[in-house]
Amino acid sequence: MSKKIIRKINIGEKGTKHLIKKYGDKLVCVRYIYDSATNKRFKTVELIEQIDDWKPDSTKIPWNKTMHLRVDYGESHIGRLIRSAGGNWNKIKKYWELPYREVISLGLENRIIDE
């Protein structure tokens, strides 16, 4: 692809005054795209189309967070599964530790120990 964004200007910076008058609060930024194949420069604007209320999901768990898993005595096949996915046995606290992404991929969410 020969088109390349060379410059991005945020609102309020030099070169955006007339666009702020034209688009008002809907203007987000201005980009200059250069096409070396046709020797053309394109000026683009990013606009806000719609504004809705949004509440961040505070319960979202990071993929790399280490989770603690309960595995009952005699479930050695589960322990081997966890170990093969990179999990470790915590001898002191007596539970398995595994990153959340692996817990999800193995379907072991119901074994997570709440702290």
Label the pairing between strands 27-35 and 40-47.
antiparallel
- What's the mean pLDDT in 44-52? 93
Secondary structure E strands in the chain: 3-10, 27-35, 40-47, 66-69, 88-90, 95-99
Residue 56: is its pLDDT beyond 90?
no
- Over pLDDT 70: what percentage of the chain? 98
Q: What share of the chain is helix, strand, coil (3-state, %, to 5)?
A: 25, 35, 40
| Comparison of pLDDT for 6 and 85, the residue scoring more | 85
Q: What is the mean pLDDT of the chain?
A: 91
Name the β-bridge partners of 31.
8, 44
Torsion sign, CA atoms 5, 30, 8, 49? negative
pLDDT of residue 115: 64
Cα 115 to chain centroid distance, Å, stands at: 25
**pTM score of the predicted model:** 0.49
Give mean pLDDT, residues 74-100. 93
pLDDT at 1: 57
The pLDDT confidence band at residue 59, using thresholds 50, 70 and 90, is confident
Mean per-residue pLDDT, 3-23: 89
What's CA 48's distance to the chain center, in Å?
A: 21
Q: Which of 32, 6, 11, 33 is nearest to 22 (CA)?
A: 11
